[in-house]
Amino acid sequence: MQSATALLALVAAVNGKVIRGRQLSGAAAVPANPQPANLTSGGDYVSTDMSSLESNTEQYYLGFREVDFEKPYAKYYNPVVSPISDALVNGLAGSPWPSAFTYSAQDAAKYLEQPGYLNLENGYAIGSNGTLMIAVRSEIPQVTGEQYDWWFGWHSVETARYKLWNPIAHQYSYRTPDSVDWANRTYAERYIGATSYIDEYVGNDAAKLSIQFIEPELIGFNTSAWPELGIETVVVGKLFIGDYSLEEFDQTSYLMHMVRRMPNGYRELRSRFFVASDNHGNAQLGHDLAVHCNIEMTHLGSFLPALFQEFKGTK
C-alpha cells in the first residue's frame, strides 16, 4: 500500500490546470422501501450546521488539527488512503475513450439501470457537444445503500466529518439550508433538497464546489425497479465548480453515485460525473476527478459501516 505522501504526490503530479483561482463477508439486502430513521437524541430532530459559512479559503486546511481530534468520531480519521484500483489505472490509460461511449445526465438512468456493465465503467470521455463524462467503479463491499444515504445527510454539516472521507483532499464543508428538521424523514430525505458547499483538492488545485441534491426520479430513475436490479440507492446532485452558489447550476452538470449489490452480497459503487465544458469540464478534470472519486469512495468503505453503527442516532 502506498503511503499518504506518495499517493498525494500521485494525485498532485498532474498539471492541475482545469480549475483556476484556486475479505469481508456478504451483507444482507436492505429493505426496498426504507422507513423514517429514528434519532436517539431525544425529541430534537433538527440538524444544524456546526458553524457559520466561511468563504475565506485562507481559513481552510487539509488534515486534522488539535480541535478536530477532539471530535467524538476522530478515531475514524485515517490519513493513509489506498491506491486507486487497477481497473481505474487501466481505464485512465485508455482515456479519453470514444465519444460514442458518452450519454447525457438525462439519459443516464436508462443505462445505469441495465444489469451488468457498460463499455465505460472506469475512465472518461468527451461527448460531441464537449461535455465531459467520468465513470468510476469503486469497491465498497460492506457499505449498504442505507449507510450511504445516512452519510450524505450526516457529514455535510461539519468540516471535520467531511475530512474523514478524503483526508488528503477535503478542506471544507457547509450545508444550506443551515437547519433541517429530520423528523419523520428517511436518510435520503435528509439530504435531498439541500446544497453542499465544499472546498477540496481535485488534482493539483483546490476549488469551491456546490452540489444540490435532487430526487433520482427527477432525472429519470425508476426507483420501483431497483430491488430487482440490486440497486440500493442512487445519490444525484447538480454540480457547479468554482464558487458557492444556489443559482449557477446548468442543465448539463450532474454527479451520480449508485450503490449496487452484487450476486456475492458485496456492494459496488458506480459513479458518474457529467460536466459541461463551460463548467471546467475537460480532459484534465476527467483524470483528476476520477482519481479523487476512487480514492474517497474506497476510503469511505473502510470505515462507514462502523461509523454508522456508532453515530446513526446523531445529527
Rounded Cα–Cα distance for residues 159 and 20 (Å): 23
Residue 37 has a pLDDT of: 58
Number of domains in the chain: 1
Answer yes or no: is 43 within a domain: no
**Contact (Cβ atoms closer than 8 angstroms) between residue 19 and residue 243:** no
**Domain ranges, residue 246:** 82-311
End-to-end CA distance of the chain: 34
Answer yes or no: is 49 within a domain: no
Least-confidence region, from 16-30, 58-72, 77-91, 265-279: 16-30
- Encode pLDDT of 54-82 as tens digits: 999 999 999 999 999 999 999 999 999 99
Residue 34 has a pLDDT of: 52
Asked whether residue 2 carries a pLDDT value surpassing 70, the answer given is no
Residue 18 has a pLDDT of: 34
Answer yes or no: is 19 within a domain: no
Answer yes or no: is 16 within a domain: no
Answer yes or no: is 210 within a domain: yes
Answer yes or no: is 159 within a domain: yes
Answer yes or no: is 3 within a domain: no
Answer yes or no: is 29 within a domain: no
Q: What strands, in cross-sheet order, belong to the sheet with 267-275?
A: 123-126, 132-139, 267-275, 254-261, 231-241, 205-214, 195-202, 170-176
**Contact (Cβ atoms closer than 8 angstroms) between residue 235 and residue 228:** no
CATH code assigned at 277: 3.30.530.20
CA 53, 56, 59, 61 dihedral sign is positive
Residue 29 confidence class, pLDDT cut points 50, 70, 90? very low
Residue 297 confidence class, pLDDT cut points 50, 70, 90? very high
